[in-house]
Each structure stands twice: as structure tokens, then as C-alpha cells.
């Protein structure tokens, strides 16, 4: 009953922006107006599918990076949009999220998703990570972490750079970078400098509050340094979304 109620609430909140949101056969299913559907073992907030890709959704054959993939709902949607000739590379360091992410990729019958089990940063190595098995896991002490520290456990996880993985995978193009990594946006974008300058992808990145300060200036600085001039902001008190094009 509670699951059906949550789906109904999402349908009401995102009415006109989502075609459907429902629990079917124990799976949470979201369909966007273009007919693209994603199913998940776990409920997720479909806000990114309703709002973030209005004019930035990948076309068939596109290559997209989902940085901070969580349980893979957005990644699966991007992969369906990109089609069998495209590819989606996802970055996710949280062990609990990774377990569900892998199963969701299988559930959606996708073979064009590459999972990088590392966090995105400005260098390779290992960092302390606040793992919560949800949306707010972070390398940083965001406002969410500060308000509910009991929900997180400190673990060490590997990190890499976007440039490193793009080169390692031999990607011939990068059309879109979606990023939602709870405060680490600045370092991750610095680690993508070569990719940004070479491929000029559209960038959709969510900002956060870390130690009382928005990461928006860090995002803008990194993008401008890489040559981006069309930088729009969808304002929000805590998580404004930046959409940038070179």
C-alpha cells in the first residue's frame, strides 16, 4: 500500500513531465513522455528524468557518462535513449548502491552500460567516503551528512579521474556528462579537463552545500577554465542544476 501511495505522489508531483510512475510486479517503473521506460528493484525519485534532460537527452549512438550513478535509474534511462550503438559509462563508489545498480542494469536488459566501481575525483588513489547506501553518500561533509551523521559509515574507496577512464575505455566521443556526486563536483570536473576540452560534451551537474558553502562557484570555474561559455543554472536553495555547453 505504501509503495503504491509513493508512486501516486510522484505521478502527481511530476504530472505532465512523466508519462507514468508505478509499482508493477514488485518493480518500480518510470516512463518519460518519449516512451522510454526504466524499471528498478528499489524506488527512486524520478526528478532528474522529469527535469534535467529537457533538451540534453542523448540521441541514438551517443556516449554518456553518469557520474554518481546511485542505483542506476538515470543510467538505465540514458542507455535506453542511446540505444545499442551508444554507450553509458557509470561511476559509483558506494558498495550498497553498486549492488542494486548491477541488478538494475540486468533487469533492464542492457548491455551498453559500463560500470566503473570508483568515485570521480581530480586524481587516482583512495579516499575516505561517507557511505550511506543512498543518494547522499559523499566524499564531503555536505549539509545532509552534517544533519544526520548517524546514517553514514566511513570507508575507504578507490577514486579515478574521468579523463583516465575515458582514455582507458578508448571512448571515441563523449556527448553528455551527468554528474550528481554530493559536493565533489569541483574536483571531478577538474579531473575531466581533457575530456571537456576535446569532446565538448553537454554537462548536466547538480550543485550541493558543503560546510555551508555552495559548490556552484567551483563548478562554474572548472567549466569556464575548460572553455565553456554557455552555462545556465536552474536555481534551487540547495541543489541548483547547471547545464553547460561549450
Whole-number Å distance between alpha carbons of 93 and 57: 24
Whole-number Å distance between alpha carbons of 117 and 109: 20
CA 208, chain centre distance (Å):
13
Q: Please state at what angle helix 95-107 crosses helix 73-82, rounded to 10 degrees.
A: 40
Q: What single-letter DSSP state applies at residue 138?
A: B
What is the pTM for the complete model shown? Answer: 0.95
Residue whose grid cell is 579516499: 127
Whole-number Å distance between alpha carbons of 85 and 68: 23
Q: What are the C-alpha distances in Å from 230 to residues 176, 242, 245? A: 15, 10, 5
The CATH architecture that domain 52-245 belongs to is 3-Layer(aba) Sandwich (3.40)
In the chain, what are the domain boundaries?
Answer: 1-45, 52-245
Residue whose grid cell is 508512486: 7
Q: What are the C-alpha distances in Å from 209 to residues 136, 152, 168, 181, 239? A: 12, 17, 32, 11, 8
Contact 73, 92 (CB under 8 A): no
Of the chain, the end-to-end C-alpha distance in Å amounts to 47
DSSP-based three-state secondary structure for 70: coil
Q: What single-letter DSSP state applies at residue 58?
A: P
Phi-psi region of 125 (alpha: psi -120 to 50; beta: other; left: phi over 0): left
Kind and range of the H or E run holding 77: helix 73-82
Return averaged pLDDT per consecutive 10 residues of the chain, 246 residues in all.
79 94 94 96 94 88 98 98 98 96 98 98 96 87 89 95 98 98 96 98 97 96 97 92 94
Residue 144 has what pLDDT? 85
Residue whose grid cell is 550543485: 207
Residue 55 has what pLDDT? 81
Amino acid at each position: 500500500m505504501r509503495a503504491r501511495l509513493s508512486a501516486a505522489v510522484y505521478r502527481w508531483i511530476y504530472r505532465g513531465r512523466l508519462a507514468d510512475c508505478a509499482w508493477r510486479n514488485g518493480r518500480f517503473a518510470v516512463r518519460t513522455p518519449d516512451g522510454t521506460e526504466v524499471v528498478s528493484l528499489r524506488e527512486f525519485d524520478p526528478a532528474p528524468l522529469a527535469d534535467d534532460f529537457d533538451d540534453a537527452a542523448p540521441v541514438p549512438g551517443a556516449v554518456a557518462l553518469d557520474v554518481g550513478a546511485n542505483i542506476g535509474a538515470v543510467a538505465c534511462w540514458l542507455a535506453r535513449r542511446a540505444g545499442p550503438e551508444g554507450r553509458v559509462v557509470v561511476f559509483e563508489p558506494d558498495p550498497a548502491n553498486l549492488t542494486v545498480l548491477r541488478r538494475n542494469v540486468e533487469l533492464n536488459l542492457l548491455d551498453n552500460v559500463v560500470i566503473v566501481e570508483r568515485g570521480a575525483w581530480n586524481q587516482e588513489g583512495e579516499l575516505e567516503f561517507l557511505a550511506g547506501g543512498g543518494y547522499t553518500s559523499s566524499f564531503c561533509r555536505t549539509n545532509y551528512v552534517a544533519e544526520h551523521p548517524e546514517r553514514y559509515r566511513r570507508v575507504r574507496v578507490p577514486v579515478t579521474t574521468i579523463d583516465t577512464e575515458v582514455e582507458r575505455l578508448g571512448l571515441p566521443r563523449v556527448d553528455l556528462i551527468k554528474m550528481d556526486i554530493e559536493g565533489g563536483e569541483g574536483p571531478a570536473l577538474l579531473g575531466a579537463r581533457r575530456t571537456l576540452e576535446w569532446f565538448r560534451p553537454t554537462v548536466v551537474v547538480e550543485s550541493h552545500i558543503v560546510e555551508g558553502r555552495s559548490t556552484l562557484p567551483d563548478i562554474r570555474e572548472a567549466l569556464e577554465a575548460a572553455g565553456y561559455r554557455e552555462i545556465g543554472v536552474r536555481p534551487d536553495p540547495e541543489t541548483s542544476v547547471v547545464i553547460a555547453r561549450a
